[in-house]
Amino acid sequence: MATLDQCRAALDRLAQNLSSADGNVRRAAAFDRSLSCRITDLDVTFLGRLSEGSIQEVTSVPGPPPHKAEIRLSMAGDDLLALVDGKLNFAKAWGSGRVKLEAGLRDLLRLRTLL
């Protein structure tokens, strides 16, 4: 089972990957939305903002998110690590229910380039 520190490091790597991306990926991430990532097996939620092509202001809180973010992810810690490391395909994980993504339709259409 992934630890809290490993999950935080994975989110930091994801933020770095987004900030150094170019082309369609950079354009898809270049909007301003609140973001939450619930790690179900650790009972913790990471909160932040997807802004200027990067994930910023990341904090963690115990339990479920204190407010409804515009983009909401939920998964096990091991799945977060596998996604960021490229070992787990997001579409397959989403389709099988291992990863949950909730967002408005417009945001989902923009995020498809990232995911």
20 burial level (CB within 10 Å; 0-12, 13-18, 19+): exposed
The residue among 48, 30, 11, 56 whose CA lies nearest residue 111 is 30
Q: What is the pLDDT of residues 4-55, one digit of tens each?
A: 999 999 998 887 776 665 666 555 556 788 999 999 999 999 999 988 777 8
**What is the pLDDT, as a whole number, of residue 105?**
87
Instruction: Give the 3-state secondary structure of residue 93.
Output: helix
Rounded to the nearest integer, the mean pLDDT of the chain is 86
What sections of 20-111 are H helices per DSSP? 23-29, 77-84, 90-96, 105-111
- pLDDT of 73 strictly over 80: yes
What's the CA gap between 68 and 77, in Å, rounded? Answer: 20
Give me the pLDDT at residue 28, please.
55
Q: 0.95 cut: is pTM over it? A: no
Q: Average of pLDDT values for 80-100?
A: 92
**pLDDT above 90 coverage of the chain, percent:** 55
